[in-house]
Amino acid sequence: MTKRLNRSATSVIALLGVASIASQAGVASAAEISDSAQSIKVGEGDLFLSGSLGYQFDDNKNRTATNESDLTGVVVSPTVVYKADQGSLQFQTSYEGGYGSFDDSAFDFDDHRVEVSLGSELSRRWRLGANFNVTQRHDDFDNEIDATNGIRDNFVVINSVSADVGFRYGAQGAKGNLEGGLLVLTHDLEELDFNPEGINPDFDLVEPSLQFSLRLSQDTRLTLGVTHGQFDFDNSVDRSITRTLLGLQFSQTGKVRGFFRVGNAVTRFDDSRSSFSTFVFDSVITYLPVSFSRFVLRGSRRLDNRDNSAVDFSNAGTTSDIVSLSWIHKWGSRFSTDAFARLELTDRECPAASEDLSVIGLTSNYQLFNKVSLGLGVQQESQTGDLCAGDTRDADVFDYDRQRINVSVNFTL
């Protein structure tokens, strides 16, 4: 049971190492705006309204090998974005919602995300940015909770509030650029009635970051970045994680763009337990053979901090390796597809089990009218677990296969 709660907290932690640096100068909103979206003029800015209505099918809602059952439902996802650009000052605010209603009410959810971003070009060399985010989202069911406690009758609700400020010094094409930032985040869980031991993985995070980049050529920069996150848990040992990453960044002047960074991550605990370190990397490489087709290769290895309140590890650490490949292709002015494959390897110290997850899928979109499109997505998941010696549970307790189908109507106003 504790392991699932740990995972819900560390899914956020694993992303925070790059979040602060990534948002320092640009401060981009998570809400994406389609290239073909039309806006409504409101004051000095533009208002974008979009959304989707989807029908979903899942043939193994509990993600188990022995208790497979179907799930069907409807998901409504509205998005509202307001953007204003006053030359040296940029402002954006957005709302993203997700409302799911299923034939099994235990899977109903109600998600919200509100974000406000500011960016200011003070001079040719100085740029400042700030981002404020409030998120409420549901956490997926997990077969480990089912295996330990029986199937629960509600989702875990994750609430987070974050503020991120940053700067960039150096002109866009300068020989050297310096970027820095500070991320402050609170993270808490609701709906923990299935947890009789009272484990509480809520935490606060303060994470400063600094990155220097050196221009090697017109389209390539060498980067060196450091982040240091201090985690204050409500009911566990406080800890810090420090990441140092060296890499290359490629601009969009050629057919290849993206970045690749390698380095080291170290977790240090506030009690007597030993620190834990590992090799880490992070990369996103995009290849555009032609203007209407692109391949995106993503890879990462991260050290996940964990809340081990119920299991006393003398040297706690979990590594997560993820590799994915996507092929996005436009077959004409109306029809596009995205074929993807992903492999996730999660390695935990005993007595916690490790897991391997593979995902393949295909999504397609057909522009029916000027502001209306139809979407179809299919996905196949397969997971296998690796139990520790002496674990008395069934060998396939973490194994499952499932297929998911989504049909949607997408619109912009």
List of E strands, 170-234: 176-190, 203-217, 220-233
Asked if residue 169 has pLDDT above 50, the reply is yes
Burial of 252 (0-12, 13-18, 19+ CB in 10 A): exposed
Strand partners, 272: none
Contact (Cβ atoms closer than 8 angstroms) between residue 366 and residue 374:
yes
Q: Does domain 2-412 have CATH number 2.40.160?
A: yes
Nearest-CA neighbor of 323 among 305, 341, 339? Answer: 341
Nearest-CA neighbor of 7 among 320, 351, 313? Answer: 320
Provide the CA 229 distance to its chain's centre, in angstroms: 18
The mean per-residue pLDDT over the stretch 203-211 comes to 94
Mean pLDDT of the chain: 83
Q: How many CB atoms lie within 10 A of CB 342?
A: 17
The mean per-residue pLDDT over the stretch 287-292 comes to 93
Asked if residue 129 has pLDDT above 90, the reply is yes
DSSP assignment string, 126-159: EEEEEEEEEEEEEE---HHHHHHH---SSPEEEE
Angstrom distance (rounded) from CA 188 to CA 264: 28
The mean per-residue pLDDT over the stretch 366-381 comes to 95
Residue 322 pLDDT grade (very low, low, confident, very high; cuts 50, 70, 90)? very high
Task: Give per-residue pLDDT as tens, 27-68.
Answer: 444 466 655 567 888 888 999 999 999 999 999 988 888 878
Whole-prediction pTM: 0.81
Q: How many CB atoms lie within 10 A of CB 213?
A: 21
Would you call 354 helix, strand, or coil by DSSP?
A: strand
The two structure tokens encoding residue 83: 């953007």
100: Cβ contacts below 8 Å, ≥ 6 apart: 56, 73, 74, 75, 107, 108, 109, 110
